[in-house]
Amino acid sequence: MSKIDWLDDISQVVMHADDKEAALAALAQQLPQKAQRDVSTLRQIMAGKVPPQKALKKSGSLWAILFQLAKRGDKALPHYLGQYQHLAKARLSLESVFQTRFLAYLYFFWLIMTLFVSLLIVTNKTLPTFTEFYQDFGAAMPLSTRFILEGWFLLLAIGIFLFAVLFALIMPWWYRRRVNRLLPIPWYLRLFPFYIGVTRNYHRYLQLVFTDIYANVGEAKPLQRGEVQLPKGFLAPHDQTLLNVALRHGGFHESLRLQQQKFANATLKHIRAADSLIGGIIFIVYAILVYTYVRGIYEPIFQLGEVVG
């Protein structure tokens, strides 16, 4: 249990307990000192008080998004407290999104470091010998070799490395961080081209989760309230129609949760496809980089006969 997760872990135990006050008191006695602040925060929440939003957002707790939903509703805060479990289940449905592929990242960094170390040795030891030899015969080094010796290949490799770090590590990590907190994706992350399908389905999923919460607490027009929590409406017209009919004639919650599962599955499917696409692009670019590097090393050897002759 990491430090950042204390509040949500404690909340899941307490909010599922039959006697919430007794469960909270028992946790306060048995948990270490570093968890006591979160125990006090939960006690404050159960008393109907809203802790500082800045602290909740910093911790990544689901209470932050629940308080935001309550703020935009007409019902009092106590009506929303029981919906914490619903948010916890909604996040659990996307659990595999949060898994970090450390081995893939480690392998990628190992390849890059191997390339840089090899480049350092070749440019300082091997290729200068060929340069002197070619100069003795009044010949110019091959273009691909000069590309390495003059530092252009190194700049290209660094640029590709930074691109890979941004689009294969930082952006997906930041994206997953937002999903882990059930927060909408901001506009600058929606520019990330590989995750367009993920964003669309994830926002649809969020809209239905928020709609379900508003319906559970008895708010009027739950579909519309769930929609305004997001940057724009993402549900297709036919989905809106189906849910509106179910809201008026019964079976709304069942229809809503079936739709939630559909969009949760679609989100996971698209994020796996996006990760595979990013990995494939990086592999192709790396293969081109290695080809350029190997050609620059061996071309002086292949042309020695012409130079001597």
Residue 233 has pLDDT above 60, yes or no: no
Please tell me the pTM assigned to this model.
Answer: 0.81
Q: Is residue 93 part of a domain?
A: no
Q: Is residue 95 part of a domain?
A: no
Q: Are 194 and 170 in contact (CB under 8 A)?
A: no
Q: Are 166 and 158 in contact (CB under 8 A)?
A: no
Q: Report the domain count for the chain.
A: 2
Q: What is the pLDDT of residues 137-146, one digit of tens each?
A: 788 888 888 8
Cβ within 8 Å of residue 164, ≥6 positions away: 108, 112, 282, 285
Whole-angstrom distance, CA of residue 67 vs CA of residue 229: 12
* Owning domain of residue 52: 3-73
Q: Counting Cβ atoms within 10 Å, is residue 154 exposed (0-12), middle (13-18) or buried (19+)?
A: middle
Q: What is the pLDDT of residues 178-224, one digit of tens each?
A: 888 888 888 777 777 888 888 888 988 998 999 999 999 988 888 88
Span 117-133, mean pLDDT? Answer: 83
Same domain flag for 66 and 113: no
pLDDT number for residue 213: 92
Q: Is residue 218 part of a domain?
A: yes
Q: Are 154 and 139 in contact (CB under 8 A)?
A: no
Same domain flag for 68 and 148: no
Same domain flag for 169 and 271: yes
